[in-house]
Amino acid sequence: MEPDKTHQDTGREELLQQARAIATRAYAPYSHFRVGAALRTITGEVYTGVNMENRSYGLTNCAERGAVQAAVAEGHRRFSEIAVVCLDAEQPTPPCGACRQVLSEFMDANAPVHFAAGDPEAVVSTTISGIYPFDSLHHLRDDTETKGR
């Protein structure tokens, strides 16, 4: 896959590096599919998350939502960019459907989204609208609640 140079001026490499580093802390003893996410707030802070599995598979939580929860717990509600790295994937792995919905709650349609595989050269860069083009619940998003930092 050809690397996309479009978003490199937005701090993409730094965010990918943080996602790659935190992915080593993933708790993935069942899938062996270690994922890290690095989420940048509109005020420039970065929050990270990892996937956390459970022997009852349905309780598994994704790295992206872990990062969102950490940031929201610190009072942040608007995010400008996210990077997701799966150390054990051969191809860049995009956020799952649940994470697309959650990210769209706090990020604008044009916010950059990067996802990468174990190979640091295998990166796809797109946007929220690129991974979630048809948001049927868009009209329900409460922008007064997600304004602020």
Interacting residues with Zn ion (CB under 5 A): 62, 96, 99
Residue number closest to Zn ion, CB atom: 62
Length of the chain, please?
Answer: 149
CA angle centred on 16, ends 108 and 31, rounded to 5° = 100
Nearer to Zn ion, 3 or 135 (CB): 135
**Residue carrying structure tokens 């619940």:** 137
Catalytic residue of the set 13, 45, 53, 64:
64
Residue 129, C-beta contacts closer than 8 angstroms, at least 6 positions apart: 109, 110
Distance, CA of 133 to CA of 32 (rounded, Å): 30
Beta carbon nearer to Zn ion, 38 or 99: 99
Of the two residues 62 and 124, which places its CB atom closer to Zn ion in the complex?
62
- Burial of 100-110, coded b for 16+ CB within 10 Å and e otherwise, reads bebbbbbbeee
Cα(87)–Cα(12) distance, integer angstroms: 17
Q: Which CB atom, from 63 or from 122, has the smaller least distance to Zn ion?
A: 63
Catalytic residue check, 53: no
What residues are labeled active site?
A: 64
